Amino acid sequence: MARREIGAGTKVLSFAAIGTPPQDLKYRNEPTRCEVGPKCLIREGVTIHRASVGGGGVTRVGAGCMLMAQAHVAHDCILGEGVILANNVMLGGHVLVGDGAFIGGGAAVHQTVRIGRLAMVSGLAGVTNDIPPFGYVFGLPARLVGFNKIGLLRRGASRDQLRTLRLANNLLFKDPGEFAAKIEQAATRWPEEVLVQEVLDFVRDMTRRRQLVRPGRMAAPELGGVDEENGDGT
């Protein structure tokens, strides 16, 4: 069985290394895998390591991803479709990245972190905890400062959905109170709101190995794409 598969239409530029052994001292050349989906763009110097024996046996990059120059995808990472890693992004082992997420240049993501669908990570962020779907994080350590309004609008979300999502995010991540109770309050208040329910499913996942990212504020608003008043990543 081939240890590396690259999908049709994927472009791999100079000095990229795909499917090389994991940087794991426990690895003894076991037959693990690396898969890159179709129609991806893998730029210069990107490294994507195949899986270790401590994960699911495969490192996977989904269809239509763009990995900019010098980005690193460590062993056992799973990237969904349409993920963008900007220059010099570093993903530790076993990181899960949801569809359409964007990770800014020079950001470092700790091993076993989950990044939800359409989340946005600012450049140079240090991510040590899970980021919920649509969340926008900034800083070192990364803090949740808003949500990816523009990304949601581009994918067909309505203004009403965004207003509801903002209310739910404020309840979950800003309002005082016990977190489990706030989860149930949000579930009861917005049972038919699919974006809210997606966030709730993510934070309820008891298999997670990291805590959720903490809320915060941008220390220098002029440096990032977020509306401080409304908490909207742009």
- Per-residue pLDDT, 223: 42
- Give CA–CA dist 203/211, Å, rounded: 9
Tokens of 7: 């999908």
140 with 125: CB under 8 angstroms?
yes
- Per-residue pLDDT, 161: 98
- Per-residue pLDDT, 160: 98
- Per-residue pLDDT, 219: 67
- Per-residue pLDDT, 232: 57
Tokens of 156: 């067909």
- Residue 184: strand, helix, or coil: helix
pTM (predicted TM-score): 0.93
> Catalytic amino acids?
75-76, 93
pLDDT along the chain (234 residues), means of 10: 90 98 94 97 98 93 98 98 98 98 98 98 98 97 97 97 98 96 98 98 92 86 42 50
Strand 102-103 to strand 120-121: parallel, antiparallel, or no bridges (unpaired)?
parallel
- Residue 171: strand, helix, or coil: helix
Half-sphere exposure of 37 (CA within 13 A, CB side): 15
